[in-house]
Amino acid sequence: MQDHSPSLLADGYEQPLDLTRADTLRAEVCCSSALSFLMEAHDGLSAAIAERAGFKGLWASGLSIACSLGYRDANEASWSHLVDAVERIVDSSRLPVLVDGDGGFGNFNNARLLARKLRERGAAGVALEDSCFPKLNSFVGDRHPLADVDEFCGRLRAVKDTVANELVLVARIEALIAGHGMHEAIARAHAYQEAGADAILIHSRSSSADEILSFADAWQNRLPVVIVPTKYYRTPTCEYRRVDISTVIWANHSMRAAAAAMRRVCGRIFAEENVAAIEPDIIPLEDLFELFSYDELAEAEARYLQPNKLQH
Ligand code: SPV
Ligand code: MG
C-alpha cells in the first residue's frame, strides 16, 4: 500500500537528510528497472498535493514556476527566484525533487553556482539543457539555438565536480526541438555521458512519440532515459515501458489544472457577483488546514506557548 501520510513540515517534522532524497531520486531514475513518474510542482501547495496523490518524486518545472510568478519561461525569473521556489517545494513534501535548471543560467560558472545553491536548498537533482542563455520554452517559436557541445559538456563537468553524487545530474538534449535530427541527438547523448551525466532527458515537441521511441531504440539505455510527454500525450504509457524508458515527467499539469480552475472560478464569481454557488466546486478550507498540519501547530502551542496559562 502506498504511503499517503501527511508531508508536513511544521517545526517538529522529521525531515530526511537531503542526501537521502538524492539517493532516492537516483534509485528511482537511474537504478530502478520499473518506469518512474515525476509530477510537476511549482510551489509548496502543488508539492504537498502531488505527494498525497501517491507520487514518489517531483519535477520543479521552470515553465510552471515562471507561470506562477507571472514571468515568461525565457529566463525572466532569476536563478535566485528558482532556488527560493525550490525551497518551498522541498519543504512541503518528503519527496525527492528534480529541478529544471534550464541551461544553468549562463556558462559553467553560473551552472555550478546554481547546482550548489540547489543542493543547499535540499534538491535531489538538477536537469541542465543544452540551450543558450536566455532560453525560450521548447514549445514556443522556432528559435532554439543549441549550445556548442564542448561548452555544454563543460557546464556538466563543472556541476559534477561541484556537487558530485549529492545531486542527480540529468543532461537534457534539445537537438530534436531545434530540428537537428536523431544523429545529432545521439552524438550529444554520448558526449554528455562522457561528461558525467547520470541520465539523459530527450525532449520532443512532436505530437507523436515516434522520435523519442527511435531515440530509445538507438541509445540502448547506455544511460537511463527521461522523457516529457507534454505534446505526445496520447501515447499509451505501456509504450514507454516497452522501450525501457526510465522516467516520465508530467511536466506542467498541476499548474495548468490550477490555471483552468482559477479561470473558471473567477469568471463565475465575476458574473454571479456571489460565491454561494461556487462553494461545492472549490476545496474546503478544512482540507487545506489538514494538508498543512494545523493540528500540529495547536499541539505545539499547548506545549510551548505559556502552557501553564493555557491550561487554565
Ligand atoms: C518545464 O517544465 O519547464 C520544462 C518542460 O522544461 S517543457 O516546458 O516541456 O520544456
Ligand atoms: Mg523548463
Ligand whose nearest atom lies closest to the CA of 252: 1
Supply the pLDDT for residue 309.
67
Asked, for residue 157, whether it belongs to a domain, the answer is yes
Residues with active-site annotation:
73
| Alpha-carbon gap, residue 194 to 281, rounded angstroms | 51
| Alpha-carbon gap, residue 250 to 235, rounded angstroms | 13
Asked, for residue 265, whether it belongs to a domain, the answer is yes
Among 39, 63, 247, which residue has the most ligand 1 atoms within 8 Å of its CB, making it the best to mutate? 63
Please write the tens of the pLDDT for every residue from 100-156: 999 999 999 999 999 999 999 999 999 999 999 999 999 999 989 999 999 999 999
* 176 and 287 co-located in one domain: no
Asked, for residue 13, whether it belongs to a domain, the answer is no
* 244 and 272 co-located in one domain: no
Asked, for residue 5, whether it belongs to a domain, the answer is no
* 30 and 157 co-located in one domain: yes
Asked, for residue 55, whether it belongs to a domain, the answer is yes
* 190 and 162 co-located in one domain: yes
* 92 and 189 co-located in one domain: yes
| Alpha-carbon gap, residue 260 to 240, rounded angstroms | 28
Altogether, the residues listed in the chain come to a count of 312
Torsion angles phi and psi, residue 293, rounded to 5 = 50, 50
pTM, full prediction: 0.93
* 47 and 178 co-located in one domain: yes
Number of folded domains that form the chain? 2
**Containing domain of residue 292, as a range?**
260-311
Query: Which residue, of 230, 253, 276, is where some domain finishes?
Result: 253
Q: What is the CATH number of the domain that holds 241?
A: 3.20.20.60
Asked, for residue 11, whether it belongs to a domain, the answer is no
Query: Which residue, of 203, 231, 253, is where some domain finishes?
Result: 253
CB-based contact 14:231 (threshold 8 Å): no
Q: Is 41 in the pocket of ligand 1 (CB under 6 A)?
A: no
- Nine-digit cell string for 143: 528559435
Asked, for residue 221, whether it belongs to a domain, the answer is yes
Asked, for residue 184, whether it belongs to a domain, the answer is yes
* 280 and 236 co-located in one domain: no
Which residue's CA is the closest to the ligand 1 atom numbered 8?
63
Supply the pLDDT for residue 277.
96
Among 126, 138, 172, which residue has the most ligand 1 atoms within 8 Å of its CB, making it the best to mutate? 138
Q: Is 193 in the pocket of ligand 1 (CB under 6 A)?
A: no
Supply the pLDDT for residue 2.
34
Supply the pLDDT for residue 310.
57
* 288 and 224 co-located in one domain: no
CA separation (Å) from 274 to 195, 265, 270, 278, 282?
Answer: 59, 11, 8, 8, 14
* 217 and 301 co-located in one domain: no
Distance 104 CA to ligand 2 centre (A): 11
* 175 and 303 co-located in one domain: no
* 32 and 108 co-located in one domain: yes
Residues of the chain with pLDDT below 50 are 1-15, 17-19
* 205 and 167 co-located in one domain: yes
Query: Which residue, of 253, 276, 298, is where some domain finishes?
Result: 253
The neighbour count for residue 139, using CB atoms within 10 Å, is: 14
